[in-house]
Amino acid sequence: MSLLDRHGQTLAEFDRTVHLVKADQWDNPTPCTEWTVRDLVNHLVSEQLWVPHLLGGATLAEVGDRYDGDVLGDDPVRAWEESSRAARAAWTEEGAVDRMVHLSFGKFDASLYGWQMTMDLAVHAWDLAMGIGAPQPIEDDVAEELIPVVRPMIAAAQGTGILAPPVEVPDDASAPDRLVALCGREPR
């Protein structure tokens, strides 16, 4: 499948999981040890808010700190819906994945950014599901395709504090378990 297809799938996975969060679960811990459920959703909303700017050619300095802090307000689900809808519209604009974007480590093809966002949506959907006690949301075919695409990104991120080291899993582990383990999570 194409990047845009996988991105759409992982966005939908995260969306379904956000809609499962109950009112009393926003302070629950997640596998991202520094983040509660609310913190994790805030991170994903902030990421979505950046997308239209970066795909539109803006630099990190031009976007600045406008999405620092709490971007959820009093309705986290609505904040997610609005930001993800705008991000998806930016990704599906004609030629969006063929553009160059400014990222924290330089100017790169938007497709690299797209795969990073797709991986982030998938793995954080898993984190969110674990934080609220929901079923694991990553589809097998999505995980199978993401593993070889993101493996080099994961290797490059080691030692930066962005991701924990990969966790070993049995050879017969499911694709979603192998993906989250690659991203430093202990499959449950």
pLDDT digits (tens, 9 = 90+) for 90-128: 999 999 999 999 988 778 899 999 999 999 999 999 999
Domains defined for the chain, CATH in brackets: 3-137 (1.20.120.450)
Nearest one of 50, 40, 97 to 72, comparing CA atoms:
40
Q: What is the average pLDDT across 34-41? A: 96
Question: Is 11:122 a contact under the CB 8 Å cutoff?
Answer: no
The torsion of the CA quartet 18, 56, 93, 2, rounded to 10 degrees, works out to -70
pLDDT of residue 33: 84
Residue 139, CA distances (Å) to 12, 149, 176 in order: 11, 16, 7
Nearest one of 107, 131, 76 to 123, comparing CA atoms:
131
- Residues of the chain above pLDDT 90, percent: 79
What is the DSSP secondary structure assignment for residue 96, as one 8-state letter?
G
Nearest one of 100, 125, 123 to 112, comparing CA atoms:
100
Q: What is the average pLDDT across 146-160? A: 77
- Can you give the pTM of this predicted structure? 0.93
The SS3 call for residue 109 is strand
Residue that the structure tokens 């694991």 belong to: 136
The torsion of the CA quartet 186, 5, 52, 54, rounded to 10 degrees, works out to 70
pLDDT exceeds 70 at position 161 = no
